[in-house]
Amino acid sequence: MQRYAVGEWESLWASDPYMKHRFVLDLQLRTVIAGEDRIRGAWWSMRLEHVAYMEQILNETFDLIWDEPEEFGFGRRSEIPLWATQAWPWPPLPAVEDVEKMLDSPGVPVERDELGRIIFPPRVTAHGSK
């Protein structure tokens, strides 16, 4: 038996820009063991509370996924994919709400790249310098 299932899931939350997710399911333990969000063309590790929330949604609303992952576009695998075993970014990225509050605060230095995009996460020290 192939113990794991891997697939992508359209965002359950309204977001701008549009976002989708990918997950690794442990079919034997009926748990989500890894997840990433695709934001602006790149995959980012999910926060643990978001992985847990996705598992809760699957258990409450899409419980059939544990027995028939193919019905949801997931493929069975015998091993966990490499992306799900790589080290997480450290330190962990702050919650989106915390970043929004910080960026909305007056006097916060915001660094931009050559195309004018905000560099995330902002690099600040205790003294307010970069």
Give per-residue pLDDT as tens, 48-80: 888 898 899 999 999 999 999 999 999 999 999
Name the band, by pLDDT with cuts 50, 70 and 90, for residue 20.
confident
Count structural domains, the chain.
2
In a shared domain, residues 104 and 69: no
Same domain as 98, residue 74: no
- Are residues 16 and 51 both part of a single domain? yes
Say if residue 91 is preceded by a cis peptide, omega within 30 of 0. Answer: yes
pLDDT digit string, tens, across residues 77-106: 999 999 998 866 655 666 777 777 776 777
State pTM to two decimals.
0.64
Nearest to 37 by CA among 49, 26, 47, 25: 47
Residue 69 contacts residue 5 (beta carbons within 8 Å): yes
Full domain range(s) for residue 35: 4-84
Residue 120 has pLDDT above 80, yes or no: no
Q: Give the pLDDT confidence score for residue 128 in this predicted structure.
A: 47
The verdict on residue 110 lying in a domain is yes
49 vs 13: which has the higher pLDDT: 49
